[in-house]
Structure 1
Amino acid sequence: MKHSKQQVKSGFVWSAIDSFGNQGIGLVISLTLANILGPSAYGLVAMLTIFIAIAGVFVNSGFGSALIRKNDRDEKDFSTTFYFSLVVSLTCYSILYLSAPVIAKFYQQTELINLMRVVALTIIINTFAIIPRVKLTVTLNFKNQAKANVAAILCGGFVGLIMAFNGFGAWALVLQQLVSATISVAVLNVLSPWRPIEAFSKNAFKNLFGFGYKLLLSGLLDTIYNNIYGLIIGKHFSATQLGMFNQAHKLSSMPSAMITGVIQKVTYPILSSMQNDSVKLDDAYLKTLKIATMVVFPVMFGLCIIAEPLINLLLGEKWKGSAPLISILSMGLLLYPIHAINLNMLQVKGRSDLFLKIEVIKKIIITFSLIITVPLGITAMCIGMVTTSYLALIINTYYTAKLSSISQSKQLYTLLPIGLITALSAAIGYLSGFRILIDWLSIIIMLAASLFSYIVLMSLFQKKLLVEAKFLLNKTN
């Protein structure tokens, strides 16, 4: 399916509105809840995150990506995906419902039994959003997705805040998730109505599963290891410490995830439509990588230097322990868009086997990192996360280079100058404002000095890249 310039432009605009608007509203609600509830309530809910996330991977099973990539998708594919996902979601919920006492015993937190049995309902609810989201993504219709997401987070946030103010603790976070999922599904099905009109097809299942099962396995590995830190911290440390880590990871990953989400949601279907034209595909891939790096690097370095005054200003003394963790984690999470774009290329090329192989290699590295860092504490674990992120970059770019004309050295050569310029700009910004005792003023001075330095240095040493970025932006107008 070919996409017009207007579709691409609209896709980027509405994807940005969706991501930034959704995350912006969510951030305000989350910070308000964090001030009311404190780290312990967040830690309790975070203990359940890995189980809900793993169930979500099984429900999707890579079928969503397979549907987007498939150019000749039809109603049999959609109906088969829905039936399969619904059965898996019901199975996962049943398992989690029955195993809730075991999970509570593992963490030695009896209140997790009922929390798990309620929050796990989101697994079933989200199943009814899979096909509407896929259909909207294929046509780059992110406007309706934005409406659904904003409505969901507003309604869920309202319920969560009411419950938090009335002393419901962790239940406020659980009901917030449940309401958000329900509203999202309802709005999506109103704006993009869909019902299964075909029977389950074995042929469609085999075709989709043939591509999707490797994404399922790699996604399973990725989800387990993305959440294993919370599992280990929840088991060996207190709920309060897990809450600190979880909030630090959430705040440090949010900017990178938002920007990457905008780029990834729009470019995956576009790159998929170019899968038979290697020259155009490689060119579009490299340009996407450059633009993402130019935007994400300064944002993440900026977050790194303002972490302490930012936490003091937004969350107060009881969350102070999360500030140094944010500074550490942001230095690894700045590579998130590069990882995502590289792995997108593997999916577009139909190499879900390599996708899985890469995930296995990276998880072996993470396992060794955990063995070394867990006895040393949460800070050491965060440093280990950053280290593994840079090792993963080398692995990702190596395999992408094998499938394209863009060598590993060319990718790294593109990233390194921007990284050095950003690091120098951040250092200048930090030195300009770190001694100022007024938090809001310190933040403004640090960011202003960093941004000014970044613009000047980029203009001096990366002028060609800035011109190319400007040309690309004008081209979509």
Structure 2
Amino acid sequence: MRLPDATYPARGAFRATMGSGADLVVRQGVQFLVLLILARLLTPADFGTIALLAVYVLVGCVLADAGLTTALLQAKGVTVGEVDSAFWTSVVLGLLLTGIGVAIASPLAQLADRPDLVTVASFMCLTILSTAVGQVHATMLVRALAFGRLLVIGLVAALLSGAVSIWVALEGGGLWALAVQSVAMPTVAAVLLLLVSPWRPGKQWSRNDTTSLIRRGRWVLAANLVDHGYLRLHTLITGVAFGTAALGTYQRADSTQQLTTETTSAVVGRVALPLFARTSGRADLLRAGFLTGIRSVSALNAWAMAVLAALASPVLMVFFGEQWAPAAPLLSILCAAGLLWPFHVMSISVLYATGANRQVFRIDLAKKVAGLTLLGVGLTFGLKGVAWAQVGLGVVALVINGRTVQKAVGLGLREQLSSVAPVFALAGIVGLGASAASSALDTEPWIRLIVVVPLSGVAYLMLAASLRVRAVTDLLILLRPVSNPPPSGPAI
């Protein structure tokens, strides 16, 4: 029996984007608040150690997915048998991979140079099973663009897991606080998804349906493995080269940049795949959707990256504490890489929507080989060299993605860059102004943030309005349920 298609897209991308945005912003916001507290209770070495212990866990979560969820999202229609098969396959894989993780917990602890942490490493592997149990339910809600339910689930999971982790830290649990949070959040989310989702797993597991889904998603799995494998290898190499404390410092800079970049990009990118999949036969619609998406996301992301780079030191000191001040130069560098992240999100969404899964794997493999090469060079220059290697990888990825999108939908890299060039220039000007203003204010870091951030935002919007920057106009239109006719005059 074929499940009914979602009716949400007919109501327009606005409601979907707002629902997705609210879900991500609320969940990320709660996690950020929890992180602010934990960063003051724990040490950089604690964060670095957990990052090393999580190397297998995060790869295991990708393997448990097996590309099944993306195959379900890409399909224009799915049957009950396909969804049931995806669920039970994920659960079995999750159980198997969790068992393997427990078995190799000792080598994982040795990797972090902490053989006493075998129990922690074993406990963290439960994340794989919890994620596997909930991911198909979450996928069905995403297919329906039912982000309101996902918002409630994400909020409750973030609050409960955050509260428990803070309690563990206050009780002197050290890095156990981070381990508990990593397991508690997907576990709570999985339980809530089972309770809230209108879909219930049945007994219609089918080898044919499973094989079909895996065949459709195999290149997605391969691409995800390459992506996550690269990230985990990057963490491993950095940790071994510089130690857990230095790794924790680098991770703080990287996660702070990603918190902003991935949230702004994912708001549109999360909606893009199911919507693009419904227009995959229309190259003109895909081109228009890509340009609107990249302009809209970049309008917000470019300003955020410019201001964050300019105010890296006061941001880290105010939110995380003085012990994280050494991460400031790294954060400023990584913001340059974050500037290009929206191109990656939208490019991959378009390629997946057109069914070019194998192509995604190939270009991802090429990018990661380039990334490891750049990392090898960057290591000789310390942590700053590692950060600059990420910037170099962003440029390489931009070129590779751009050429691939041109072949897929006829949209060249020059046209892509031209669509966001005005907003990049505008953000650069505002960022320089924010840096100068922060340096001129010889006062406490929190005062500089309170003064400079709002002023930079106002300056950005005023300049965008006076220059008729189209990217900002697209963003404002996307944020309105009803679009008013734009004022006359050319837009850049």
Specify the TM-score bucket, using the shorter chain as the normaliser: over 0.9
1:193-221, Cα deviation, whole Å (9 max, x unpaired) = 44332433222123212221111111111
Conserved? CA contact 2:14–2:481, under 8 Å:
no
The Cα shift of 1:423 comes to: 0.8
Q: Structure 1 CA distance, aligned partners of 2:410 and 2:482? A: 25
Which residue number in structure 2 is paired with residue 310 of structure 1? 315
Which residue number in structure 2 is paired with residue 6 of structure 1? 11
For 1:128, which of 129, 133, 138 is the aligned residue? 133
The Cα shift of 1:141 comes to: 0.2
**What code does the residue aligned with 2:368 have?**
K
Which residue number in structure 2 is paired with residue 94 of structure 1? 99
User: Does structure 1 residue 417 correspond to structure 2 residue 422?
Assistant: yes
User: Does structure 1 residue 444 correspond to structure 2 residue 421?
Assistant: no
Conserved? CA contact 1:5–1:476, under 8 Å:
no
The Cα shift of 1:461 comes to: 3.5
For 1:50, which of 40, 55, 64 is the aligned residue? 55
Which residue number in structure 2 is paired with residue 458 of structure 1? 464
Q: Structure 1 CA distance, aligned partners of 2:63 and 2:479? A: 38
Which residue number in structure 1 is paired with residue 489 of structure 2? none
**What code does the residue aligned with 1:137 have?**
V
Conserved? CA contact 2:298–2:471, under 8 Å:
no
Conserved? CA contact 1:79–1:198, under 8 Å:
yes
Conserved? CA contact 2:297–2:475, under 8 Å:
no
Which residue number in structure 1 is paired with residue 394 of structure 2? 389
Report the CA distance shift for 1:468/1:127 in structure 2 as closer, same or farther (over 3 A).
closer
Report the CA distance shift for 1:377/1:403 in structure 2 as closer, same or farther (over 3 A).
same
Structure 2 unmatched runs, 5+: 484-492
The Cα shift of 1:332 comes to: 0.4
Q: Structure 2 CA distance, aligned partners of 1:312 and 1:471? A: 36
**What code does the residue aligned with 1:444 have?**
I
Q: Structure 2 CA distance, aligned partners of 1:9 and 1:45? A: 38
More deviation, 175-184/148-157: 175-184
Conserved? CA contact 2:54–2:124, under 8 Å:
no
Which residue number in structure 1 is paired with residue 210 of structure 2? 205
User: Does structure 1 residue 361 correspond to structure 2 residue 352?
Assistant: no
Report the CA distance shift for 1:414/1:8 in structure 2 as closer, same or farther (over 3 A).
closer
Conserved? CA contact 2:9–2:16, under 8 Å:
no
1:76-131, Cα deviation, whole Å (9 max, x unpaired) = 11111112212221221122111111222233211331111001101111111112
Conserved? CA contact 2:14–2:478, under 8 Å:
no
More deviation, 176-185/437-446: 437-446
TM-score of the pair, normalised by structure 2: 0.93
Which residue number in structure 1 is paired with residue 168 of structure 2? 163
Q: Structure 2 CA distance, aligned partners of 1:13 and 1:461? A: 27
User: Does structure 1 residue 63 correspond to structure 2 residue 68?
Assistant: yes
The Cα shift of 1:292 comes to: 0.8
Q: Structure 2 CA distance, aligned partners of 1:367 and 1:407? A: 27
More deviation, 162-171/267-276: 267-276
Conserved? CA contact 1:6–1:476, under 8 Å:
no
The Cα shift of 1:345 comes to: 0.5
Report the CA distance shift for 1:122/1:39 in structure 2 as closer, same or farther (over 3 A).
same
Report the CA distance shift for 1:112/1:415 in structure 2 as closer, same or farther (over 3 A).
farther
For 2:32, which of 23, 27, 31 is the aligned residue? 27
The Cα shift of 1:465 comes to: 4.4
TM-score of the pair, normalised by structure 1: 0.96
Conserved? CA contact 2:422–2:469, under 8 Å:
no
Structure 1 unmatched runs, 5+: none
The Cα shift of 1:473 comes to: 4.3
The Cα shift of 1:467 comes to: 4.3
More deviation, 351-360/95-104: 95-104
**SS at the partner of 1:108?**
coil
**What code does the residue aligned with 1:451 have?**
G
Conserved? CA contact 1:358–1:395, under 8 Å:
yes
Conserved? CA contact 1:50–1:223, under 8 Å:
no
Q: Structure 2 CA distance, aligned partners of 1:476 and 1:133? A: 29
**What code does the residue aligned with 1:54 have?**
V
**What code does the residue aligned with 1:98 have?**
A
Report the CA distance shift for 1:133/1:246 in structure 2 as closer, same or farther (over 3 A).
same
More deviation, 266-275/436-445: 436-445
